Structure 1
Amino acid sequence: MKNKIWFVTGASKGLGLALVKKLLSSGYRVAATSRNVNDLKKAVDAGSESFLPLAVDLKNESSVENAIKETVSHFGSIDVIVNNAGYGLVGSLEELTDAEVRENFDVNVFGVLNVIRKAMPFLRKQKSGHIFNIASIGGFTGNFPGFGSYTATKFAMHGFSESLAAEAKPFGVHVTIVSPGYFRTEFLDASLGVPKNEIADYKLVRDVQTLHQNEINYKQAGDPVKAAAVMIEIAEQTTPPLHVFLGRDSYQLAEQKIKLIQEDMAAVKELATSTDHEQ
Protein backbone atom coordinates (compact mmCIF):
# COMPACT_ATOMS: atom_id res chain seq x y z
CA MET A 1 0.00 0.00 0.00
CA LYS A 2 1.29 3.43 -0.97
CA ASN A 3 2.15 5.67 2.00
CA LYS A 4 0.50 8.98 1.08
CA ILE A 5 -3.04 9.69 2.27
CA TRP A 6 -5.08 11.67 -0.29
CA PHE A 7 -8.03 13.97 0.37
CA VAL A 8 -10.07 14.77 -2.77
CA THR A 9 -13.05 17.14 -2.96
CA GLY A 10 -15.77 16.95 -5.60
CA ALA A 11 -15.14 13.23 -6.04
CA SER A 12 -18.49 11.83 -7.14
CA LYS A 13 -18.00 12.66 -10.83
CA GLY A 14 -15.63 13.99 -13.45
CA LEU A 15 -11.92 14.41 -12.86
CA GLY A 16 -12.32 13.92 -9.10
CA LEU A 17 -13.96 10.53 -9.56
CA ALA A 18 -11.36 9.44 -12.11
CA LEU A 19 -8.60 10.45 -9.70
CA VAL A 20 -10.13 8.60 -6.73
CA LYS A 21 -10.58 5.41 -8.75
CA LYS A 22 -7.02 5.60 -10.09
CA LEU A 23 -5.60 6.22 -6.62
CA LEU A 24 -7.46 3.29 -5.07
CA SER A 25 -6.48 0.92 -7.88
CA SER A 26 -2.85 2.04 -7.39
CA GLY A 27 -2.86 1.19 -3.69
CA TYR A 28 -3.33 4.59 -2.09
CA ARG A 29 -5.69 5.38 0.78
CA VAL A 30 -8.20 8.06 -0.06
CA ALA A 31 -10.70 10.29 1.71
CA ALA A 32 -13.14 11.75 -0.79
CA THR A 33 -15.89 14.32 -0.42
CA SER A 34 -19.19 15.07 -2.09
CA ARG A 35 -22.29 17.01 -1.13
CA ASN A 36 -24.15 13.70 -1.42
CA VAL A 37 -22.20 10.84 0.15
CA ASN A 38 -24.56 8.24 -1.34
CA ASP A 39 -23.62 9.36 -4.85
CA LEU A 40 -20.00 8.92 -3.87
CA LYS A 41 -20.54 5.44 -2.45
CA LYS A 42 -22.38 4.37 -5.60
CA ALA A 43 -19.65 5.76 -7.85
CA VAL A 44 -16.74 4.19 -5.95
CA ASP A 45 -16.78 0.54 -4.95
CA ALA A 46 -14.00 0.20 -2.39
CA GLY A 47 -13.40 -1.24 1.06
CA SER A 48 -13.44 0.90 4.18
CA GLU A 49 -9.76 0.24 4.87
CA SER A 50 -8.61 2.24 1.87
CA PHE A 51 -11.58 4.51 1.12
CA LEU A 52 -13.33 7.05 3.32
CA PRO A 53 -16.37 8.73 1.69
CA LEU A 54 -17.42 11.97 3.38
CA ALA A 55 -20.44 14.23 3.00
CA VAL A 56 -19.07 17.77 3.08
CA ASP A 57 -20.47 21.26 2.53
CA LEU A 58 -17.40 23.16 1.39
CA LYS A 59 -19.06 26.48 2.18
CA ASN A 60 -19.33 25.47 5.84
CA GLU A 61 -16.05 25.71 7.76
CA SER A 62 -17.20 23.30 10.46
CA SER A 63 -18.15 20.69 7.87
CA VAL A 64 -14.74 21.01 6.23
CA GLU A 65 -12.92 20.90 9.55
CA ASN A 66 -14.77 17.76 10.62
CA ALA A 67 -13.90 16.04 7.33
CA ILE A 68 -10.19 16.83 7.67
CA LYS A 69 -10.14 15.64 11.29
CA GLU A 70 -12.05 12.47 10.41
CA THR A 71 -9.53 11.72 7.65
CA VAL A 72 -6.59 12.07 10.05
CA SER A 73 -8.40 10.00 12.68
CA HIS A 74 -9.25 7.25 10.19
CA PHE A 75 -5.93 7.01 8.34
CA GLY A 76 -3.48 8.50 10.85
CA SER A 77 -2.39 11.41 8.67
CA ILE A 78 -3.20 13.49 5.61
CA ASP A 79 -0.66 14.17 2.88
CA VAL A 80 -2.12 15.24 -0.46
CA ILE A 81 -5.03 17.67 -0.71
CA VAL A 82 -6.86 17.97 -4.03
CA ASN A 83 -9.23 20.92 -4.25
CA ASN A 84 -11.25 19.71 -7.21
CA ALA A 85 -14.84 20.69 -6.36
CA GLY A 86 -16.31 23.54 -8.36
CA TYR A 87 -18.79 24.38 -11.07
CA GLY A 88 -19.04 26.43 -14.24
CA LEU A 89 -21.32 29.40 -14.74
CA VAL A 90 -22.07 30.75 -18.20
CA GLY A 91 -23.61 34.16 -18.76
CA SER A 92 -22.47 37.68 -19.58
CA LEU A 93 -21.41 39.80 -16.63
CA GLU A 94 -24.39 42.06 -17.23
CA GLU A 95 -26.81 39.11 -17.14
CA LEU A 96 -25.53 37.39 -14.02
CA THR A 97 -27.03 38.51 -10.73
CA ASP A 98 -25.00 39.35 -7.67
CA ALA A 99 -26.33 36.21 -5.98
CA GLU A 100 -25.32 33.97 -8.92
CA VAL A 101 -21.77 35.30 -9.01
CA ARG A 102 -21.35 35.20 -5.23
CA GLU A 103 -22.48 31.56 -5.14
CA ASN A 104 -19.92 30.76 -7.83
CA PHE A 105 -17.19 32.37 -5.71
CA ASP A 106 -18.48 30.76 -2.51
CA VAL A 107 -17.90 27.28 -3.95
CA ASN A 108 -14.96 27.78 -6.32
CA VAL A 109 -12.93 30.20 -4.19
CA PHE A 110 -14.04 30.37 -0.58
CA GLY A 111 -14.76 26.63 -0.42
CA VAL A 112 -11.17 25.96 -1.50
CA LEU A 113 -9.84 28.44 1.04
CA ASN A 114 -11.82 26.64 3.76
CA VAL A 115 -10.08 23.37 2.90
CA ILE A 116 -6.65 25.02 2.83
CA ARG A 117 -7.31 26.76 6.15
CA LYS A 118 -8.29 23.50 7.87
CA ALA A 119 -5.65 21.26 6.25
CA MET A 120 -2.59 23.46 6.68
CA PRO A 121 -2.25 22.99 10.46
CA PHE A 122 -1.74 19.25 9.93
CA LEU A 123 0.63 19.68 6.97
CA ARG A 124 2.56 22.43 8.76
CA LYS A 125 2.97 20.30 11.88
CA GLN A 126 4.26 17.25 9.99
CA LYS A 127 6.51 19.47 7.80
CA SER A 128 5.32 17.84 4.58
CA GLY A 129 2.40 17.69 2.20
CA HIS A 130 1.16 18.66 -1.23
CA ILE A 131 -1.85 20.78 -2.19
CA PHE A 132 -3.28 20.47 -5.70
CA ASN A 133 -5.65 23.29 -6.63
CA ILE A 134 -7.61 22.33 -9.73
CA ALA A 135 -8.06 25.61 -11.58
CA SER A 136 -8.61 25.81 -15.34
CA ILE A 137 -6.92 27.16 -18.43
CA GLY A 138 -9.73 29.71 -17.93
CA GLY A 139 -7.80 30.84 -14.86
CA PHE A 140 -4.87 31.87 -17.05
CA THR A 141 -6.65 33.27 -20.09
CA GLY A 142 -10.10 34.80 -19.75
CA ASN A 143 -10.92 35.10 -23.46
CA PHE A 144 -14.11 33.03 -23.16
CA PRO A 145 -17.25 35.17 -23.74
CA GLY A 146 -19.91 34.27 -21.19
CA PHE A 147 -17.51 32.72 -18.71
CA GLY A 148 -16.42 35.88 -16.89
CA SER A 149 -17.58 34.75 -13.45
CA TYR A 150 -16.10 31.27 -13.78
CA THR A 151 -12.76 32.50 -15.13
CA ALA A 152 -12.62 35.09 -12.34
CA THR A 153 -12.91 32.31 -9.74
CA LYS A 154 -10.11 30.41 -11.43
CA PHE A 155 -7.91 33.50 -11.82
CA ALA A 156 -8.41 33.95 -8.06
CA MET A 157 -7.26 30.38 -7.50
CA HIS A 158 -4.09 31.01 -9.52
CA GLY A 159 -3.34 34.09 -7.43
CA PHE A 160 -3.86 32.71 -3.96
CA SER A 161 -2.15 29.44 -4.90
CA GLU A 162 1.03 31.28 -5.84
CA SER A 163 0.95 33.10 -2.50
CA LEU A 164 0.22 29.85 -0.69
CA ALA A 165 3.20 28.19 -2.37
CA ALA A 166 5.50 30.87 -0.96
CA GLU A 167 3.89 30.70 2.49
CA ALA A 168 3.93 26.90 2.70
CA LYS A 169 7.43 26.31 1.32
CA PRO A 170 9.24 26.79 4.69
CA PHE A 171 7.12 23.92 6.07
CA GLY A 172 8.00 21.50 3.29
CA VAL A 173 4.54 21.76 1.74
CA HIS A 174 4.27 21.86 -2.06
CA VAL A 175 1.52 23.58 -4.05
CA THR A 176 0.56 22.77 -7.63
CA ILE A 177 -1.97 24.69 -9.71
CA VAL A 178 -3.53 22.37 -12.27
CA SER A 179 -5.04 24.14 -15.28
CA PRO A 180 -6.96 21.61 -17.37
CA GLY A 181 -8.23 22.28 -20.85
CA TYR A 182 -11.30 20.44 -22.08
CA PHE A 183 -11.69 16.94 -20.61
CA ARG A 184 -14.49 14.49 -21.35
CA THR A 185 -16.46 14.69 -18.10
CA GLU A 186 -19.94 15.77 -16.96
CA PHE A 187 -18.70 19.33 -16.35
CA LEU A 188 -20.69 20.92 -19.18
CA ASP A 189 -24.02 19.43 -18.17
CA ALA A 190 -24.25 18.58 -14.47
CA SER A 191 -21.95 21.40 -13.36
CA LEU A 192 -22.77 24.26 -15.72
CA GLY A 193 -24.98 27.02 -14.34
CA VAL A 194 -26.88 29.43 -16.59
CA PRO A 195 -28.31 32.89 -15.82
CA LYS A 196 -31.89 33.26 -14.69
CA ASN A 197 -32.22 36.53 -16.56
CA GLU A 198 -30.94 36.20 -20.12
CA ILE A 199 -30.58 39.36 -22.25
CA ALA A 200 -31.49 38.91 -25.91
CA ASP A 201 -28.71 41.21 -27.19
CA TYR A 202 -26.01 38.78 -26.04
CA LYS A 203 -26.16 36.52 -29.08
CA LEU A 204 -22.44 35.79 -28.88
CA VAL A 205 -22.81 34.53 -25.30
CA ARG A 206 -25.79 32.32 -26.25
CA ASP A 207 -23.80 30.92 -29.18
CA VAL A 208 -20.91 30.09 -26.84
CA GLN A 209 -23.33 28.54 -24.36
CA THR A 210 -24.94 26.38 -27.06
CA LEU A 211 -21.53 25.38 -28.40
CA HIS A 212 -20.39 24.15 -25.01
CA GLN A 213 -23.62 22.38 -24.08
CA ASN A 214 -24.44 20.76 -27.42
CA GLU A 215 -21.31 20.47 -29.54
CA ILE A 216 -18.28 20.35 -27.23
CA ASN A 217 -19.96 18.30 -24.47
CA TYR A 218 -18.73 14.68 -24.41
CA LYS A 219 -16.52 15.33 -27.45
CA GLN A 220 -13.65 16.85 -25.47
CA ALA A 221 -10.21 15.54 -26.39
CA GLY A 222 -8.93 15.13 -22.83
CA ASP A 223 -9.09 11.75 -21.06
CA PRO A 224 -9.74 12.21 -17.29
CA VAL A 225 -8.15 8.83 -16.50
CA LYS A 226 -4.89 9.96 -18.11
CA ALA A 227 -5.18 13.29 -16.29
CA ALA A 228 -5.46 11.44 -12.99
CA ALA A 229 -2.32 9.43 -13.78
CA VAL A 230 -0.41 12.64 -14.51
CA MET A 231 -1.41 14.16 -11.17
CA ILE A 232 -0.39 11.03 -9.25
CA GLU A 233 3.00 11.02 -10.94
CA ILE A 234 3.54 14.71 -10.16
CA ALA A 235 2.63 14.08 -6.50
CA GLU A 236 5.47 11.57 -6.30
CA GLN A 237 8.06 14.02 -7.65
CA THR A 238 10.62 15.45 -5.25
CA THR A 239 10.30 18.97 -6.65
CA PRO A 240 6.85 19.19 -8.25
CA PRO A 241 6.02 22.19 -10.46
CA LEU A 242 3.84 25.05 -9.30
CA HIS A 243 2.03 25.30 -12.64
CA VAL A 244 0.70 22.33 -14.60
CA PHE A 245 -1.16 23.06 -17.83
CA LEU A 246 -3.08 19.86 -18.44
CA GLY A 247 -3.82 18.86 -22.03
CA ARG A 248 -2.61 19.92 -25.47
CA ASP A 249 -5.35 22.55 -25.75
CA SER A 250 -4.37 24.02 -22.40
CA TYR A 251 -0.76 24.35 -23.56
CA GLN A 252 -1.82 26.00 -26.83
CA LEU A 253 -4.07 28.53 -25.08
CA ALA A 254 -1.40 29.32 -22.47
CA GLU A 255 1.21 29.88 -25.17
CA GLN A 256 -1.19 32.19 -27.05
CA LYS A 257 -1.78 34.24 -23.88
CA ILE A 258 1.95 34.50 -23.14
CA LYS A 259 2.63 35.66 -26.71
CA LEU A 260 -0.14 38.26 -26.50
CA ILE A 261 1.23 39.62 -23.22
CA GLN A 262 4.74 39.85 -24.67
CA GLU A 263 3.40 41.73 -27.73
CA ASP A 264 1.39 44.14 -25.58
CA MET A 265 4.38 44.78 -23.31
CA ALA A 266 6.70 45.45 -26.26
CA ALA A 267 4.19 47.77 -27.96
CA VAL A 268 4.08 50.28 -25.09
CA LYS A 269 7.28 49.48 -23.17
CA GLU A 270 8.93 52.89 -23.57
CA LEU A 271 5.74 54.72 -22.58
CA ALA A 272 4.72 52.36 -19.78
CA THR A 273 8.17 52.40 -18.14
CA SER A 274 8.46 56.21 -18.17
CA THR A 275 6.63 56.57 -14.86
CA ASP A 276 9.51 56.65 -12.36
CA HIS A 277 10.48 59.80 -10.48
CA GLU A 278 13.33 61.65 -12.13
CA GLN A 279 16.67 60.93 -10.45
Structure 2
Amino acid sequence: MIQQTKVWFITGASKGFGLSLVKQLLSKGQKVAATSRNIEELKNAVNLVTDNFLPLKVDLADEASVADAILKTNCTFGQIDVVINNAGYGIGGSIEELTDREVRNCFDINVFGTLNVIRNVMPYLRKQRSGHIINISSIAGITGGIGWALYTATKFAVVGLSEVLAEDVKSLDIKVTVVAPGAFRTSFLTEDSLVLAKHAIDDYQEVRASHARYQKLDGNQAGDPEKAAAAMIKIAFDETPPVHLLLGEDAYDRAMQKLEKLDKTFRFNEELSKSMAYHG
Protein backbone atom coordinates (compact mmCIF):
# COMPACT_ATOMS: atom_id res chain seq x y z
CA MET A 1 0.00 0.00 0.00
CA ILE A 2 1.40 3.39 -1.02
CA GLN A 3 1.26 5.88 1.86
CA GLN A 4 3.18 8.91 0.61
CA THR A 5 1.56 11.23 -1.92
CA LYS A 6 3.87 12.33 -4.70
CA VAL A 7 3.46 14.67 -7.65
CA TRP A 8 4.14 12.96 -10.97
CA PHE A 9 4.86 14.51 -14.38
CA ILE A 10 4.35 11.97 -17.18
CA THR A 11 4.82 12.52 -20.91
CA GLY A 12 3.07 10.60 -23.67
CA ALA A 13 0.18 9.74 -21.37
CA SER A 14 -2.74 9.12 -23.72
CA LYS A 15 -1.80 5.50 -24.48
CA GLY A 16 0.59 2.66 -23.69
CA PHE A 17 2.73 2.76 -20.56
CA GLY A 18 1.86 6.42 -19.98
CA LEU A 19 -1.87 5.77 -19.75
CA SER A 20 -1.37 2.73 -17.52
CA LEU A 21 0.80 4.82 -15.21
CA VAL A 22 -1.70 7.66 -14.99
CA LYS A 23 -4.65 5.39 -14.22
CA GLN A 24 -2.80 3.36 -11.60
CA LEU A 25 -1.42 6.45 -9.89
CA LEU A 26 -4.77 8.24 -9.75
CA SER A 27 -6.38 5.11 -8.32
CA LYS A 28 -3.80 5.28 -5.51
CA GLY A 29 -4.55 8.93 -4.72
CA GLN A 30 -1.39 10.29 -6.31
CA LYS A 31 -1.22 13.72 -7.99
CA VAL A 32 -0.54 13.45 -11.71
CA ALA A 33 0.27 15.96 -14.44
CA ALA A 34 0.13 14.19 -17.78
CA THR A 35 1.02 15.41 -21.26
CA SER A 36 -0.18 14.63 -24.75
CA ARG A 37 -0.21 16.32 -28.13
CA ASN A 38 -4.00 15.87 -28.08
CA ILE A 39 -5.48 16.90 -24.75
CA GLU A 40 -9.01 15.71 -25.58
CA GLU A 41 -7.68 12.27 -26.44
CA LEU A 42 -5.85 12.26 -23.10
CA LYS A 43 -8.92 13.30 -21.11
CA ASN A 44 -11.09 10.70 -22.84
CA ALA A 45 -8.53 7.96 -22.29
CA VAL A 46 -8.16 8.70 -18.57
CA ASN A 47 -11.91 9.31 -18.19
CA LEU A 48 -11.66 10.78 -14.71
CA VAL A 49 -12.25 14.29 -13.40
CA THR A 50 -10.39 14.97 -10.17
CA ASP A 51 -8.28 17.73 -8.64
CA ASN A 52 -5.41 15.22 -8.61
CA PHE A 53 -5.27 15.09 -12.41
CA LEU A 54 -3.78 17.88 -14.55
CA PRO A 55 -3.99 17.13 -18.29
CA LEU A 56 -1.61 19.21 -20.38
CA LYS A 57 -1.32 19.76 -24.13
CA VAL A 58 2.41 19.77 -24.84
CA ASP A 59 4.65 19.70 -27.88
CA LEU A 60 7.76 18.03 -26.48
CA ALA A 61 9.89 19.27 -29.37
CA ASP A 62 9.04 22.87 -28.36
CA GLU A 63 11.03 23.88 -25.29
CA ALA A 64 8.68 26.76 -24.45
CA SER A 65 5.71 24.37 -24.46
CA VAL A 66 7.56 22.00 -22.13
CA ALA A 67 8.65 24.80 -19.77
CA ASP A 68 5.08 26.10 -19.55
CA ALA A 69 3.73 22.64 -18.70
CA ILE A 70 6.27 22.14 -15.93
CA LEU A 71 5.54 25.61 -14.52
CA LYS A 72 1.78 24.84 -14.50
CA THR A 73 2.45 21.55 -12.73
CA ASN A 74 4.51 23.21 -10.02
CA CYS A 75 1.98 26.02 -9.58
CA THR A 76 -0.91 23.55 -9.36
CA PHE A 77 0.61 20.98 -7.02
CA GLY A 78 3.38 22.94 -5.30
CA GLN A 79 6.20 20.59 -6.26
CA ILE A 80 7.28 17.84 -8.67
CA ASP A 81 8.56 14.56 -7.26
CA VAL A 82 8.72 12.05 -10.11
CA VAL A 83 9.26 12.78 -13.81
CA ILE A 84 8.59 9.96 -16.26
CA ASN A 85 9.80 10.61 -19.80
CA ASN A 86 7.62 8.09 -21.59
CA ALA A 87 6.76 9.73 -24.91
CA GLY A 88 8.37 8.20 -27.97
CA TYR A 89 7.75 6.21 -31.12
CA GLY A 90 9.44 3.64 -33.32
CA ILE A 91 11.13 4.13 -36.66
CA GLY A 92 12.19 1.26 -38.92
CA GLY A 93 14.32 1.04 -42.01
CA SER A 94 17.94 0.98 -43.03
CA ILE A 95 19.79 4.26 -42.64
CA GLU A 96 19.75 5.07 -46.37
CA GLU A 97 16.02 4.31 -46.68
CA LEU A 98 14.94 6.89 -44.10
CA THR A 99 14.87 10.59 -44.92
CA ASP A 100 16.66 13.23 -42.91
CA ARG A 101 13.28 14.68 -41.86
CA GLU A 102 11.94 11.31 -40.67
CA VAL A 103 15.05 10.76 -38.59
CA ARG A 104 15.11 14.26 -37.12
CA ASN A 105 11.42 14.07 -36.21
CA CYS A 106 12.07 10.86 -34.28
CA PHE A 107 15.09 12.31 -32.48
CA ASP A 108 13.03 15.41 -31.63
CA ILE A 109 10.60 13.33 -29.58
CA ASN A 110 12.65 10.36 -28.39
CA VAL A 111 15.78 12.31 -27.44
CA PHE A 112 15.34 16.08 -27.56
CA GLY A 113 11.87 15.91 -26.02
CA THR A 114 13.37 14.01 -23.09
CA LEU A 115 16.18 16.57 -22.84
CA ASN A 116 13.71 19.46 -22.92
CA VAL A 117 11.83 17.99 -19.98
CA ILE A 118 14.98 17.30 -17.96
CA ARG A 119 16.47 20.72 -18.68
CA ASN A 120 13.33 22.53 -17.56
CA VAL A 121 12.44 20.41 -14.54
CA MET A 122 15.93 20.38 -13.02
CA PRO A 123 15.72 23.89 -11.48
CA TYR A 124 12.67 22.74 -9.46
CA LEU A 125 14.31 19.49 -8.38
CA ARG A 126 17.57 21.25 -7.46
CA LYS A 127 15.69 23.74 -5.31
CA GLN A 128 13.87 20.89 -3.55
CA ARG A 129 17.06 18.78 -3.30
CA SER A 130 14.89 15.81 -4.17
CA GLY A 131 13.18 14.08 -7.09
CA HIS A 132 13.37 11.06 -9.35
CA ILE A 133 13.70 11.16 -13.13
CA ILE A 134 12.64 7.96 -14.91
CA ASN A 135 13.52 7.80 -18.60
CA ILE A 136 11.86 5.05 -20.61
CA SER A 137 14.26 3.72 -23.22
CA SER A 138 13.96 0.22 -24.69
CA ILE A 139 15.90 -3.02 -24.78
CA ALA A 140 16.87 -1.64 -28.22
CA GLY A 141 18.86 0.96 -26.26
CA ILE A 142 21.06 -1.87 -24.99
CA THR A 143 21.02 -4.26 -27.94
CA GLY A 144 19.42 -3.32 -31.25
CA GLY A 145 17.89 -5.51 -33.93
CA ILE A 146 18.31 -5.54 -37.69
CA GLY A 147 16.28 -2.86 -39.47
CA TRP A 148 15.96 -0.52 -36.47
CA ALA A 149 19.26 1.40 -36.57
CA LEU A 150 17.80 4.87 -36.08
CA TYR A 151 15.32 3.82 -33.40
CA THR A 152 18.18 2.05 -31.64
CA ALA A 153 20.28 5.23 -31.89
CA THR A 154 17.59 7.27 -30.11
CA LYS A 155 17.24 4.68 -27.35
CA PHE A 156 21.00 4.25 -26.90
CA ALA A 157 21.11 8.04 -26.46
CA VAL A 158 18.50 7.86 -23.69
CA VAL A 159 20.46 5.13 -21.90
CA GLY A 160 23.72 7.07 -22.17
CA LEU A 161 22.38 10.43 -21.04
CA SER A 162 20.57 8.76 -18.14
CA GLU A 163 23.70 7.01 -16.89
CA VAL A 164 25.68 10.25 -16.80
CA LEU A 165 22.77 12.33 -15.49
CA ALA A 166 22.51 9.93 -12.56
CA GLU A 167 26.11 10.76 -11.63
CA ASP A 168 25.70 14.50 -12.26
CA VAL A 169 22.73 14.89 -9.89
CA LYS A 170 23.62 12.32 -7.21
CA SER A 171 25.06 14.97 -4.87
CA LEU A 172 21.77 16.90 -5.17
CA ASP A 173 19.81 13.91 -3.80
CA ILE A 174 18.06 13.49 -7.16
CA LYS A 175 17.71 9.95 -8.50
CA VAL A 176 17.68 8.75 -12.11
CA THR A 177 16.49 5.46 -13.57
CA VAL A 178 16.50 4.37 -17.20
CA VAL A 179 13.95 1.68 -18.02
CA ALA A 180 14.55 -0.79 -20.85
CA PRO A 181 11.34 -2.68 -21.67
CA GLY A 182 11.08 -5.57 -24.07
CA ALA A 183 7.92 -6.36 -26.04
CA PHE A 184 4.76 -5.27 -24.24
CA ARG A 185 1.18 -5.37 -25.43
CA THR A 186 0.81 -1.66 -26.12
CA SER A 187 0.06 0.26 -29.32
CA PHE A 188 3.79 0.51 -30.13
CA LEU A 189 3.55 -1.61 -33.31
CA THR A 190 0.51 0.21 -34.70
CA GLU A 191 0.59 3.01 -37.29
CA ASP A 192 0.09 5.60 -34.53
CA SER A 193 3.41 4.72 -32.90
CA LEU A 194 5.57 3.33 -35.70
CA VAL A 195 7.08 4.88 -38.83
CA LEU A 196 8.51 2.57 -41.50
CA ALA A 197 10.61 3.66 -44.46
CA LYS A 198 8.32 4.70 -47.31
CA HIS A 199 10.90 4.14 -50.01
CA ALA A 200 12.14 0.60 -49.45
CA ILE A 201 15.23 -0.58 -51.28
CA ASP A 202 15.03 -4.13 -52.68
CA ASP A 203 18.50 -5.09 -51.47
CA TYR A 204 17.38 -4.87 -47.82
CA GLN A 205 15.35 -8.08 -47.71
CA GLU A 206 16.53 -8.94 -44.19
CA VAL A 207 15.29 -5.56 -42.99
CA ARG A 208 11.84 -6.21 -44.53
CA ALA A 209 11.75 -9.65 -42.93
CA SER A 210 12.64 -8.18 -39.53
CA HIS A 211 9.84 -5.62 -39.77
CA ALA A 212 7.35 -8.32 -40.76
CA ARG A 213 8.32 -10.44 -37.75
CA TYR A 214 7.81 -7.53 -35.37
CA GLN A 215 4.49 -6.51 -36.89
CA LYS A 216 3.18 -10.05 -36.45
CA LEU A 217 3.74 -9.62 -32.72
CA ASP A 218 1.19 -6.80 -32.52
CA GLY A 219 -1.42 -7.77 -29.95
CA ASN A 220 0.49 -10.91 -28.98
CA GLN A 221 3.43 -9.46 -27.07
CA ALA A 222 4.21 -11.35 -23.87
CA GLY A 223 4.58 -8.28 -21.65
CA ASP A 224 1.67 -6.89 -19.61
CA PRO A 225 1.84 -3.06 -19.60
CA GLU A 226 -0.06 -2.90 -16.30
CA LYS A 227 2.71 -4.90 -14.64
CA ALA A 228 5.34 -2.64 -16.21
CA ALA A 229 3.57 0.46 -14.89
CA ALA A 230 3.32 -1.08 -11.42
CA ALA A 231 7.06 -1.88 -11.48
CA MET A 232 7.94 1.72 -12.36
CA ILE A 233 5.68 3.04 -9.61
CA LYS A 234 7.32 0.68 -7.15
CA ILE A 235 10.87 1.82 -7.86
CA ALA A 236 9.80 5.47 -7.52
CA PHE A 237 9.03 4.70 -3.86
CA ASP A 238 12.27 2.79 -3.26
CA GLU A 239 14.91 4.59 -1.20
CA THR A 240 17.69 3.35 -3.49
CA PRO A 241 16.17 2.81 -6.95
CA PRO A 242 18.33 1.24 -9.67
CA VAL A 243 19.91 3.30 -12.41
CA HIS A 244 18.98 0.53 -14.88
CA LEU A 245 15.74 -1.44 -14.90
CA LEU A 246 15.03 -4.17 -17.44
CA LEU A 247 11.36 -5.05 -17.90
CA GLY A 248 10.31 -8.32 -19.48
CA GLU A 249 11.93 -11.74 -19.72
CA ASP A 250 12.89 -11.01 -23.33
CA ALA A 251 14.62 -7.77 -22.29
CA TYR A 252 16.53 -9.54 -19.55
CA ASP A 253 17.66 -12.36 -21.84
CA ARG A 254 18.73 -10.01 -24.63
CA ALA A 255 20.68 -7.81 -22.22
CA MET A 256 22.52 -10.81 -20.76
CA GLN A 257 23.41 -12.02 -24.27
CA LYS A 258 24.80 -8.56 -25.08
CA LEU A 259 26.89 -8.56 -21.90
CA GLU A 260 28.36 -11.95 -22.80
CA LYS A 261 29.09 -10.84 -26.35
CA LEU A 262 30.81 -7.64 -25.20
CA ASP A 263 32.87 -9.53 -22.63
CA LYS A 264 34.14 -11.95 -25.28
CA THR A 265 34.85 -9.19 -27.81
CA PHE A 266 36.68 -6.92 -25.36
CA ARG A 267 38.78 -9.74 -23.92
CA PHE A 268 39.66 -11.14 -27.35
CA ASN A 269 41.17 -7.77 -28.31
CA GLU A 270 42.68 -7.01 -24.90
CA GLU A 271 46.31 -7.16 -26.05
CA LEU A 272 45.69 -4.88 -29.03
CA SER A 273 43.59 -2.45 -26.96
CA LYS A 274 46.33 -2.06 -24.36
CA SER A 275 49.19 -1.62 -26.85
CA MET A 276 48.53 2.04 -27.71
CA ALA A 277 50.84 3.80 -25.23
CA TYR A 278 54.09 5.58 -26.18
CA HIS A 279 57.23 3.57 -25.45
CA GLY A 280 60.63 5.14 -25.21
TM class by shorter-chain length? over 0.9
2:72 to 43, 67, 70: 70
Q: Who is 2:165 aligned against?
A: 164
Q: Quick check: 1:30–1:50 contact (8 Å CA) kept in 2?
A: yes
Matches within 5 A, 1:102-121: 102-121=104-123
In structure 1, list runs of 5 or more residues that go unmatched: none
Cα deviations by residue, 1:115-141 (Å, 9 ceiling, x for unpaired): 001100000000000000000000011
3-state SS, counterpart of residue 185 of structure 1: coil
Deviations 1:15-71 (A, max 9, x none): 111111111111111000000000000000222311111000000011000100101
1:2–1:29: 8 Å Cα contact kept in structure 2?
Answer: no
1:110 partner letter: F
Query: 2-side partners of 1:13 and 1:123: how far apart?
Result: 27
Structure-2-length-normalised TM-score: 0.97
Deviation of 1:172 (Å): 0.7
Equivalent positions of 1:73-152 (< 5 A) are 73-142=75-144, 144-152=145-153
Contact 1:89 1:194 in 2 (8 A): yes
Moved more, 93-102 or 80-89: 93-102
C-alpha offsets along residues 128-164 of structure 1, whole Å, 9 cap, x if unaligned? 000000000000112x111000000000011111111
- Once the two structures are overlaid, the 10-residue window that deviates more, 43-52 or 102-111, is 43-52
Q: What is the TM-score when the length of structure 1 is the normalising length?
A: 0.97
| Pairs within 5 Å for 1:242-253 | 242-253=243-254
The offset of 1:196, in angstroms, is 2.2
Q: Which moved more, 1:202-211 or 1:242-251?
A: 202-211
Offset, 1:272: 1.6
Alignment of 1:177-256 (within 5 A): 177-189=178-190, 190-213=192-215, 215-256=216-257
Alignment-mate amino acid for residue 173 of structure 1:
I
Equivalent residues of 1:2, 1:27 under 8 A apart: no
Residue 77 of structure 1, CA deviation: 0.8
Q: Is the 8 A contact 1:93 1:149 kept in 2?
A: yes
Percent of aligned pairs sharing the same letter: 55
Q: 1:57 maps to which residue? A: 59
The 4+ residue runs of structure 1 with deviation greater than 4 A are none
Q: Deviations over 1:90-127 (max 9, x none)?
A: 11111111111111111100010000011000000000
Report whether the alignment pairs 1:269 with 2:270: yes
Shift of 1:278: 2.4
How far did 1:171 drift? 1.1
Distance in structure 1 (CA, Å) of the matches to 2:49 and 2:128? 27
Secondary structure of residue in 1 paired with 2:9: strand
AA in 1 matched with 2:228:
A
Deviates more, 1:221-230 or 1:45-54: 45-54
The 1-side partners of 2:74 and 2:273 are apart by: 51
Consecutive unaligned residues in structure 2, runs of 5 or more: none
Aligned residues: 277
Give the corresponding residue for 1:48.
50
